[in-house]
Amino acid sequence: MRIGILAAMQQEVSILKENMSLTKVTSANNCKFFFGKLNDINIVVNQSGIGKVAATIGVATLLEKYQSNIIINIGSAGAFSANLNPSDIVIGSKLCYHDVNMTGFGYKMGKMAGQPLVFSSDQELVRLAKRASSQIETHVMEGLICTGDTFVCNTKHRKFIQKYFPSAVAVEMEGAAVAQTCHQFNVPFIVVRVISDVANHNSAENFKKLLPDTIPKILSEVTIEILKLMKVSMHSKKP
């Protein structure tokens, strides 16, 4: 069993890498992959780069080249829900694209031809992520996360997305691409985000404030807790 852990930015995995027992570092497809153990579970961590294509390449490499059995995608997001504030945790039980438009062919906004409109995270991993997040001293929400190759930082763009996806709780730049890749590989996945901003004109400034310390700290804590629970779950299933 090997768990692939992917984040877009180096800062998002910095503390996690400090906590793992590193055994080797390799490069593939212009990305670095960090192998080791955490809570006696074999993991490989990838800092993929920002955006949908970078995330897809990272996940595909984790799955095909490095035989990961489960994908945990961690990172930051902008809040859409009024019940979310910076440093809160969002568990993406559902993921969709906000920047796919094939409505001219009769598809709903966000739906790519041949793909589901909404991708669903593995329900057992959602359950474990919720339990793990409850150990962190912050608010936790589960729901739909929208993905697109845009850093949403103005009210007009935010309202445009919310018009088509009124139930969305957060927005970011990789989750649905991770979800689609795992869906096509038939591999279970979970997407976990820490809220960095509220997707308005102050987003970039707020994001920069939380990125160096707060975001990596919370992401590391949640991921470590998820792995602890996965270890317990795996042992309980042994005959």
Catalytically active residues, by annotation: 12, 197
Q: In whole angstroms, give the CA distance from residue 194 to residue 211.
A: 10
Report d(CA 74, CA 36) in Å as an integer: 18
Nearest in space to 48 (alpha carbons), one of 36, 33, 66, 37: 33
CA pair distance 219, 192, nearest whole angstrom: 8
Distance CA 160, CA 214 (A): 29
Q: Locate 84 and state its tokens.
A: 């979310």
What's the one-letter identity of residue 148? G
φ, ψ of residue 207 to 5 degrees: the values are -60, -45
Backbone angle region of 57, left / alpha / beta, with phi > 0 → left and psi within -120 to 50 → alpha: alpha
**What CA–CA distance (Å, rounded) separates 203 from 79?**
10
- Burial pattern 124-156, b for ≥16 Cβ within 10 A else e, equals ebbbbbbebbeebebebbbbbbbbbeebbbeee
